[in-house]
Amino acid sequence: MSELFSQGIIGQLKLENRMIRTASHEGLADRHGAPTQEQYHFYRAFVEGGIGLIITGYAGIMQNGKSSLYHMTMIDNDELISAHREMVGKIHGIAGKIVCQIAHCGRQTLSEATGEAVLLAPSSIPNRFFKEVPRELAQKEIKDIIGQFAAAAKRVRKAGYDGVQIHGAHGYLLSTFLSRRSNKRKDRWGGSAENRFRIVAETLKAVREEVGKNFPVLIKLNSFERGNDGIKPAECVDFARMVEKTGCCDAVEISAGSNEDSFYMARGSFPTEGILKYLRPYCKMGKIGKGFIRHVVAPINSYLKPPFKEGYNLETAAKVKQAISLPVIAVGGMRSKAFMESAVREGKTDFVSLARPLILEPDLANKFMKNESESAKCDNCNICFVATDTAPIRCHKDEFISS
Ligand SMILES: Cc1cc2nc3c(=O)[nH]c(=O)nc-3n(C[C@H](O)[C@H](O)[C@H](O)COP(=O)(O)O)c2cc1C
């Protein structure tokens, strides 16, 4: 029996195999942020397709940290619990396991989505992609956000999810505190690695207090950002050690990049046509603007973008695994069965998680188990990524091939 399809454990949560559907924003919530029937059907395909665990796309903990992407799921008030509970109940009814990822988007959103005059961040430094100049959070507001993470985690538990994942990666609020690139604070929330980690430590402790000791708590961390002061693998290993030291977390998922790092998170192709059709403000540009994107911006970005490499975060995940005893999940570029099997067999990671391949093939785990496939069909065109700005999640490949 392959290690990839052996049982695994995250805290008290027993999983049938080591393949996880990682958090991927669905854009399927209703206008209040409640999960919908379509969202359930979307998840159901993963359960029927043999995946060991689903981690939901990020759910917002506060309106002031709401995503600007299309129809974010929210978990910021008690009235939403029943809709989450209904969806989770159905997933459990077909023997699926589901963890809810919770997030505050910080400066990586738009004020038109949060409804606030300005975005919130550790320091008043704009995200190069979103461009709005955020306001530095006051200490009291930081405490409030920590409390709201805990309140959201409590709702996650009440809704019956199998665990909660704190989003500490990809340029959202918590990861901007961790990064020297975006955190220039001089108080106890900035400066040394311990100070930058403080918000994560306090969030994990507050969450643990609310959900109790038996409820699985996971975290997603960045292992790489561009620039001299961006997070690098060695610092990620230190942060993972700090996570373990809190005693409040059950698993660490290792990712990389943020919106302003262009495609370090995903690698693969620069999705020019997807951007021009789905991503604001580019999709609203006239012919001249679009021509400029096609003939100037796209070639430059395609040149700067890191090459796709199978399992591109695995080596850092392996370093994290050596440094801590908590289960590790490696995400990013997991494509072939042989690669995933060897990553688990060689002890580089305990679990592998996937986003893009499962959008196209939600039954990839079953195909691997039944020897019907050796590798995912996803070719990392990245249109699914940029299209979530204005449309629900799906694979858009055919649309562009046929046009
Ligand atoms: C459509 C889409 C939506 C995503 N939304 C989230 C999200 O809500 N939370 C998160 O942590 N990562 C999100 N990601 C990043 C993925 O979790 C993952 O880190 C990245 O896609 C690399 O994995 P892959 O090579 O398996 O796609 C998203 C990725 C895609 C393609």
Which candidate in 43, 58, 161, 172 is catalytic? 172
Q: In this structure, is residue 43 part of a structural domain?
A: yes
Q: Which amino acid is at 356?
A: R
Cα–ligand 1 centroid distance for 356 (angstroms) = 7
Q: How many domains does the chain have?
A: 1
Q: In this structure, is residue 206 part of a structural domain?
A: yes
pLDDT tens track for 196-225: 999 999 999 999 999 999 999 999 999 999
In this model, does residue 172 exceed pLDDT 80?
yes
CA atoms within 13 A on the CB side of 271: 29
Q: In this structure, is residue 279 part of a structural domain?
A: no
- pLDDT of amino acid 403: 42
306 cis-preceded (ω within 30 degrees of 0) = no
Q: Which amino acid is at 166?
A: I
How many DSSP H helices and E strands does the chain contain? 16, 14
pLDDT tens track for 17-27: 999 999 999 99
Query: In this structure, what CATH number is given to the domain that contains residue 22?
Result: 3.20.20.70
Nearest residue (by CA) to ligand 1, atom 13, is 24
pTM for the structure as a whole: 0.98
- For ligand 1, whether the C-beta of 355 sits within 6 Å is yes
In this model, does residue 2 exceed pLDDT 90?
no
pLDDT tens track for 323-340: 999 999 999 999 999 999
| DSSP state letters, 243-270 | HHHHT--SEEEEE---GGGTTTTT-S--
Sign of CA dihedral 185, 189, 194, 196: negative
pLDDT tens track for 252-271: 999 999 988 878 999 999 99
Q: Which amino acid is at 87?
A: M
60 sits in which H/E element: strand 59-60
Q: In this structure, is residue 106 part of a structural domain?
A: yes
Q: In this structure, is residue 359 part of a structural domain?
A: yes
Cα–ligand 1 centroid distance for 235 (angstroms) = 22
Give the domain extent around 124: 3-260+313-402
Name the CA dihedral angle for 12, 45, 384, 103, rounded to a multiple of 10 degrees. Answer: -30
Nearest residue (by CA) to ligand 1, atom 6, is 24
- pLDDT of amino acid 57: 98
Q: What is the mean pLDDT of residues 278-297?
A: 95
pLDDT tens track for 80-122: 999 999 999 999 999 999 999 999 999 999 999 999 999 999 9
Active site residue 43: no
- For ligand 1, whether the C-beta of 332 sits within 6 Å is yes
Report residue 304's pLDDT band, with 50, 70 and 90 as the boundaries. Answer: confident
Q: What whole-number percentage of the chain has pLDDT above 90?
A: 94
Q: In this structure, is residue 183 part of a structural domain?
A: yes
Q: What is the mean pLDDT of residues 281-291?
A: 95
**Three-state SS letters, 126-181:** CCCCCCCCCEECCHHHHHHHHHHHHHHHHHHHHCCCCEEEEEECCCCHHHHHHCCC
- For ligand 1, whether the C-beta of 58 sits within 6 Å is yes
pLDDT tens track for 32-91: 999 999 999 999 999 999 999 999 999 999 999 999 999 999 999 999 999 999 999 999
Q: In this structure, is residue 122 part of a structural domain?
A: yes
